[in-house]
Structure formats: structure tokens, C-alpha cells
Amino acid sequence: MTDISARKADHINLALQPRHQTGASAGFDRVRFEHNSLPQLDLAEVDCSAVFLNQYCSAPLIIGAMTGGCEHGEMINRHLVEAAEQCHIPMALGSQRAALESGLAQDLRRWAPNAILLGNLGGTQLQQQGVELAQRAVDSVQANAMIIHLNPLQELVQPGGDRDWRGVLEVIEQCCATLDVPVIIKEVGAGIGPGVAQRLMDVGVTWIEVAGRGGTNWASIENARVELTREQAIAAPFIDWGMSSADLIPVVRSQSSLLGVVASGGVRHGLDIARAMRIGANMTAIAQPFLQPALESTAAVIEKIEIFREQLRWAMFLTGSKNLKQLQSAPLVSA
């Protein structure tokens, strides 16, 4: 097993453990809809479909980026991508770094010829290897968009992680100018705040996935892999670092009505999807809750998607919202 694949296998095992979830701090619980006891709707007519990258999606839900590049990677990706295809839900790939470096084909299109697939690489990998790597990542899976993840906290806690972040914004700008697909910038759980969002928009980024605090805690996962007590002691105060997803979404949304905002980080069910959409998201992404079903089967992933979709439709029904546009102006009450 290579260092990268051993690390990815650790990530999967640790990400399944509840102690590495931040819990209620995503803040979605603070968003409370005014309950509508008189919906004047038939549940059957509630339509939660969305348009993302000019294509139909059955819900405003993306299967969030989770890594391949390890023993179970191909099986996980196959289950996720088949479910994405069958349910008309976009899927973000985990980092394509290992596959591109080892020359392994990522032939996901054989299972999902039509799904919306989002490529994925880290900002520091692109800073080190150049924009050509991003184009190779797009081409290798015929991606519909390219996600670049920014994870400076995770890299600090990870032994041997990238410490030199100079030039990352410049390579993002080059990607926006040269790739033939849209670029989406995401965090991994500490959140993209208004200052960074503005700098990203200034270089041409049109989609931001906030990936705030409140779900999977990458500092906690990486710290569990560290064997040196000195390194663990340095990281300890930063385990709770980051900005809550529900706080970030309205702030980032208010910066530009043209920006596409994907809410993520601690979105845990369809009611959270409804809440995130109400406070400014165009789409949402859920990662960790799909991990266990992805280890089981395509059918298990499909069932999870169907549950999330039905929960979203119930939230729409209980706010008298026939479609997402109506949900986005449904009245709220103070928590």
C-alpha cells in the first residue's frame, strides 16, 4: 500500500466514527420555518427538482467529495456514481491526485454516462504541478465542473502536509481562465468566509462550496493519525477551529447574487437541505452520511438519497412551498 492509499484508508475508517463529527455546530437547527398548518397543497405536487450547471437534478443535493485512491476506493465510487446516475443527483469525486499520479484510469463514465460529475484536486497540488493537472483531471472523467479544495488546517495537522500556500490563488485564476468547465472552490470543514469568497470572485470563480464547521472534522481526524504528542499538543486548540456553515451561507450569498453557493459541512438530512436553501444556497452537498451506504451497495446509497429527498419534500409541504423558489421565501420564525 502506498502512503497515499494508507492515509485514505485511515480517513475512511476515522470518518465513520461519530467522535470526528462536530455535531450541532453547523447551526442549521437555528433556522426555523414558520409551520404552515394549512398547506393547501397535495404532497404529490411538491417538486424539489433543481437546475445545476444548466442540467436537471431531482433535488438540490450533491454527493459530496469523498476520496478514492485506496483499497475500497473503486467500490465506493462505483456505488456512489451509479446512485448519482439513477437518481439524477450530481456527484463530486474525491481527490483525483492518487489516480492521476499513478496513471490509473478513473473510468467512472462506464457506470454513469450521463451523471453530473465534479472533478477534484487540492489547491496546493495545482500550485505545485500547474494548471495542466486540472485539465487532465477533467478529461479523465469528462467532468462537468472542477472542484479545487482548500484545506490549510487539515494540511497543518497532517504529518508532512503542505505548508507552503503561496501562489494558490494565482493557479485558481489560471484554472478559471483556461479550463473548459466551471471551477468550484470548496473547503473541507473549516468554511470559506466572506474575505476569501471575495478574493475568489475577483479572480473569476463563480461557484463556492462553503464546507463549514459542523460536520466532519478533518482536524480531529488528522490529529487521531498523529503519533507524536508534541504535534498533537500544537494542534489541540485548533480542533474546534472554523466557521459554522449556517452562519456563512447568508454572508457569502449576500456578496453577489451571481455567485453560485453550495451549502455543505454538517448538512445531515433533507430538513437541513431545506434550511440551507432558505438562507441562500443554490445547492447543498452531503459527504460523510453517504460513506457507510457507499461501503454497502448502490441500493443503500439510493435509499439514502430517497430519504433525504422525501425529507426535503416534507419540509416544503409543511411550509406550503410547491417548488424550491417558493421554499426560498418561506417565512421563518425566531428560534
Ligand X SMILES: Cc1cc2nc3c(=O)[nH]c(=O)nc-3n(C[C@H](O)[C@H](O)[C@H](O)COP(=O)(O)O)c2cc1C
Nearest residue to ligand X, by Cβ distance, number only: 215
Q: Which is nearer to ligand X, 151 or 319 (CB)?
A: 151
Greatest extent of the chain over all pairs of C-alpha atoms, in Å: 61
Residue 287, interface with ligand X (CB under 6 A)? Answer: yes
Beta carbons of 249 and 24 less than 8 angstroms apart: no
Which one, 179 or 287, has the nearer CB to ligand X?
287
Instruction: Give the residue, chosen from 192, 276, 277, 286, that forms a contact with ligand X under the rule CB under 6 A.
Output: 286
120 touches ligand X by CB under 6 A: yes
* Site membership for ligand X, residue 153 (CB under 6 A): no
| Interaction pattern, residues 182-201, with ligand X; x per rule: CB under 6 A | ----x-xx------------
- Least distance from ligand X to the Cβ atom of residue 13, Å: 9
Give whichever of 274 and 318 is closer to ligand X, judged by the CB atom: 274
Residues 210-239 that bind ligand X (CB under 6 A): 211, 215-216
* C-beta closer to ligand X: residue 46 or 283: 283
Smallest distance from the beta carbon of 67 to ligand X, in angstroms? 4
Provide the minimum distance between the beta carbon of 186 and ligand X in the complex, in angstroms, as a whole number. Answer: 6
Pair 284, 262: CB distance under 8 Å: yes
Tell me whether residue 100 or residue 318 sits nearer to ligand X (CB atom).
100
Compute how many residues bind ligand X; rule: CB under 6 A: 25
If you search the block for the grid coordinates 431531482, which residue do you land on? 58
Q: Is 20 in the site for ligand X (CB under 6 A)?
A: no
Query: Among residue numbers 38 through 97, which ones bind ligand X (CB under 6 A)?
Result: 64-67, 94-95
Closest distance to ligand X from the beta carbon of 246 (Å): 13
* 183-186/207-209 β-pairing: parallel
Site for ligand X in 290-309 (CB under 6 A): 291
Distances (CA, A) of 84 to 78, 92, 144, 177: 10, 10, 14, 29
Q: Is 11 in the site for ligand X (CB under 6 A)?
A: yes
Confirm if 313 and 97 have CB atoms less than 8 A apart: no
The verdict on 119 binding ligand X (CB under 6 A) reads no
Least CB distance to ligand X at residue 288 (A): 3
Q: Min. distance of Cβ 6 from ligand X in angstroms?
A: 14
Placement of cell 452520511 in the chain: 289
Residues that bind ligand X (CB under 6 A): 11-12, 15, 64-67, 94-95, 120, 149, 186, 188-189, 211, 215-216, 264-267, 286-288, 291
